[in-house]
Structure 1
Amino acid sequence: MNISIWWAIPALTGLIGVLMVGGGLGRLFRFKMFSGLSRFLFGGVFLSGTAVAVLAGMNLQTYARLTYERPAAEITFSQTSPQAFTATMRVPTGQGEDFGEPVIFELTGDAFRVDARFLKWKPWANVTGYDAIFRLDRLQGRFDEVNQENNAPPKAFDLSPVGTSAALDIYQLSRKNEIFKNLKAVDAIYGNGAYAPMADGAVYEVVATQSGLVPRPKNEAAREAALQWGAPTSLKTPSLGQVGE
């Protein structure tokens, strides 16, 4: 249900309640006790319903605002050799649901990691309509084995030219804007990163929540890779290459 309906319903019931209470009081003043009292009581019931609907609408609005998320990037993987993948990234253009031109990266490892710089608002600011501001910062591969990670040459890609969620600098906004400083609306400015397994043909949608990034599998290849990667070793099923060996 559209959230705006939660405000239309109490507005309508509130109007009916006010009209009935006003009509009831008018009849009581004209000594029409029965009809006046009936209208007054029914109007009170409508106003009580309005209060309940307003509270429900506020709770729904609060939940929707605090859990709001939007796409930050879409990444498709193609395996070129063991622990080597071509990552094709597209970021939103800011115009509806359109994505920009793809950008190609060559990653090594078992998983990918995407980092961003975040400006997180206080919850009350989220509820009033302010969404977290983020700027994509870095993309890199990640090995599951620590020793392999330590022995591999570090390689990361700068994402700041690729795209950002807003045409302004998050540090300038928080440090120089006197209104935000006085209201103390900014909760924190920090770096945030998330990683997930790479697999041939896997597609991930990286979404930005009010507090950080979430890489969400978008197709079966990504979901299967995430399940295998997240399961304990004893529960992992053999890959196609291991079946029958």
Structure 2
Amino acid sequence: MQYGGLAWATALLAVLAALVAARILFNRQWFLGWLRGTCGLAFLGLAALIGVLTYDLSSYRPIPEGKPLATLSFKADGPYYRVNLLEGGRERSLTMEGDLWQLDARVLQWKGLAALIGLQPGYRLEKLSGRFLAIEQQSLAQHTRVALARSPYGIDLWRWLRLGQHDLFIFDPQARRVTYLPVADDAVYSISLTPAGLLAQPMNQAAKQALQDWR
């Protein structure tokens, strides 16, 4: 009897809940209000996503014609190197350790209709990496990777396009890199973008001597 009574009471509650739900669902004003609210929130989220993507795209710079993308100057400071990165009119001071250095950059090329209307390709310096020749030193190193740019909230258009092999018929995301070159006190390198990739050129005697000794 006890459980039979509980079953009937539970069934009665279910029927009451169903009646309330039916009344709400068949109320046209409630449904239209819910639909408007849902659509409004969806478009608000879309606007926020587009805004973040716009901010991410703003971190790319037009590729300068006939000029280097950046200049790197190295200065020994104990076990580390102080790196002065000059990019256009922007100057940054970084700390790196290692015997060799490497620079990664992203390039956004345009194709299709975007290329036809004259959109210019852009680039973004991504990270500066250092590496020791000795395995023991490399395993103990703590400043071998310096991030030069980040996408907000992890929303990264370039990475999504490249890893997912999407192009949206207008994008051509490319990765460019200066492979490991020697670090030396007072060495200065100029970074340019060529059809073959990023090109690092020694700008003073310290950099030229480091390249000769390394080879």
Query: What is the DSSP-based 3-state SS (H/G/I as helix, E as strand, rest coil) of the residue aligned with 2:85?
Result: strand
Matching of residues 37-48 of structure 1 within 5 Å: none
Paired amino acid for 1:78:
K
Instruction: Indicate which of 148, 157, 164 corresponds to 1:159.
Output: 148
How big is each residue's C-alpha offset from its partner over 1:175-230, in whole Å with a ceiling of 9 and x where there is no partner?
9xxxx85xx6755x24332132111111111112245322211111101101111x
Higher fraction of strand? 2
Matching of residues 66-215 of structure 1 within 5 Å: 70-81=67-78, 83-92=79-88, 99-100=89-90, 102-120=91-109, 132-153=121-142, 155-160=144-149, 171=158, 181=168, 187=172, 189-194=173-178, 195-215=180-200
| Contact 2:96 2:143 survives alignment (8 Å) | no
Query: What is the DSSP-based 3-state SS (H/G/I as helix, E as strand, rest coil) of the residue aligned with 1:153?
Result: coil
Paired amino acid for 2:93:
I
Paired amino acid for 1:193:
R
Paired amino acid for 2:190:
E
**Cα–Cα, structure 1 residues 107 and 154, in superposed 2: closer, same or farther, change >3 Å?**
closer
**Cα–Cα, structure 1 residues 88 and 224, in superposed 2: closer, same or farther, change >3 Å?**
same
Question: Following TM superposition, by how much is the alpha carbon of 1:72 offset from its aligned partner in structure 2, in angstroms?
Answer: 1.4
Rounded to whole Å, the distance in 2 between the matches of 1:111 and 1:155 is: 10
Rounded to whole Å, the distance in 2 between the matches of 1:218 and 1:208 is: 16
TM-score with structure 1 length normalisation?
A: 0.46
**Cα–Cα, structure 1 residues 200 and 207, in superposed 2: closer, same or farther, change >3 Å?**
same
Paired amino acid for 1:104:
S
Q: Which runs of 4+ in 1 moved over 4 A?
A: 128-132, 184-187
Aligned residues: 139
Aligned to 2:23: none
| Contact 1:137 1:158 survives alignment (8 Å) | yes
Percent identity, please. Answer: 30
Higher RCO, 1 or 2 (CA under 8 Å, sep at least 6)?
2
Question: Following TM superposition, by how much is the alpha carbon of 1:88 offset from its aligned partner in structure 2, in angstroms?
Answer: 0.9
Rounded to whole Å, the distance in 1 between the matches of 2:119 and 2:193 is: 14
